[in-house]
Amino acid sequence: VGDGSDLGRISSQQVFLSSLVRTVKSDSTLTDFTKLFGLATAASKNMTLSKNLSNLNTMVSIALVLK
Protein backbone atom coordinates (compact mmCIF):
# COMPACT_ATOMS: atom_id res chain seq x y z
CA VAL A 1 0.00 0.00 0.00
CA GLY A 2 1.70 3.19 -1.15
CA ASP A 3 -0.59 5.60 0.65
CA GLY A 4 1.97 6.90 3.17
CA SER A 5 0.20 5.31 6.14
CA ASP A 6 1.84 3.26 8.88
CA LEU A 7 0.27 0.13 7.39
CA GLY A 8 1.75 0.99 4.01
CA ARG A 9 5.18 1.55 5.55
CA ILE A 10 5.00 -1.72 7.49
CA SER A 11 3.94 -3.60 4.37
CA SER A 12 6.83 -2.12 2.37
CA GLN A 13 9.31 -3.02 5.12
CA GLN A 14 8.04 -6.60 5.23
CA VAL A 15 8.37 -6.96 1.46
CA PHE A 16 11.90 -5.52 1.55
CA LEU A 17 13.08 -7.72 4.43
CA SER A 18 11.58 -10.83 2.87
CA SER A 19 13.41 -10.10 -0.38
CA LEU A 20 16.63 -9.40 1.50
CA VAL A 21 16.47 -12.73 3.34
CA ARG A 22 15.83 -14.64 0.09
CA THR A 23 18.76 -12.89 -1.60
CA VAL A 24 21.15 -13.43 1.30
CA LYS A 25 20.29 -17.13 1.48
CA SER A 26 20.55 -17.67 -2.29
CA ASP A 27 23.85 -15.81 -2.72
CA SER A 28 25.68 -18.01 -0.17
CA THR A 29 26.29 -14.94 1.97
CA LEU A 30 25.78 -16.96 5.13
CA THR A 31 28.65 -19.30 4.26
CA ASP A 32 31.09 -16.62 3.05
CA PHE A 33 32.51 -14.82 6.10
CA THR A 34 33.78 -11.88 4.03
CA LYS A 35 30.29 -11.27 2.63
CA LEU A 36 28.71 -11.89 6.02
CA PHE A 37 30.89 -9.35 7.83
CA GLY A 38 30.36 -6.89 4.97
CA LEU A 39 26.61 -7.25 5.35
CA ALA A 40 26.85 -6.86 9.14
CA THR A 41 29.01 -3.74 8.74
CA ALA A 42 26.59 -2.18 6.25
CA ALA A 43 23.65 -2.98 8.52
CA SER A 44 25.32 -1.44 11.56
CA LYS A 45 26.10 1.77 9.64
CA ASN A 46 22.62 2.16 8.15
CA MET A 47 20.28 1.14 10.95
CA THR A 48 19.70 2.13 14.54
CA LEU A 49 20.36 -1.07 16.46
CA SER A 50 19.95 -2.09 20.07
CA LYS A 51 23.15 -2.26 22.10
CA ASN A 52 23.33 -6.06 21.76
CA LEU A 53 22.94 -6.04 17.97
CA SER A 54 25.45 -3.24 17.39
CA ASN A 55 28.25 -5.77 17.95
CA LEU A 56 29.29 -7.28 14.58
CA ASN A 57 30.16 -10.63 16.15
CA THR A 58 26.64 -10.87 17.61
CA MET A 59 25.08 -10.13 14.22
CA VAL A 60 27.27 -12.71 12.50
CA SER A 61 26.44 -15.31 15.16
CA ILE A 62 22.72 -14.73 14.60
CA ALA A 63 23.18 -14.99 10.83
CA LEU A 64 25.04 -18.29 11.19
CA VAL A 65 22.09 -19.73 13.12
CA LEU A 66 19.82 -18.81 10.17
CA LYS A 67 21.73 -20.89 7.64
Q: Tell which wins on pLDDT, 15 or 20.
A: 15
Instruction: Please report whether residue 1 resides in a domain.
Output: no
Q: Looking at residue 2, what is its pLDDT?
A: 64
What was the pLDDT predicted at 62?
83
Count of structural domains within the chain: 1
Residue 4, pLDDT above cutoff 80: no
Asked whether the CA dihedral 55, 20, 34, 60 is positive or negative, the reply is positive
59 in a structural domain: yes
Segment 23-61, tens digit of pLDDT? 888 878 888 888 888 888 888 888 787 887 778 888 888
15 lies in which domain range? 6-66
- What's residue 67's pLDDT? 67
pLDDT at 1: 54
The residue count for the chain:
67
Q: Answer whether residue 41 is part of any domain.
A: yes
The rounded distance, in Å, linking the Cα atoms of 2 and 9 is: 8
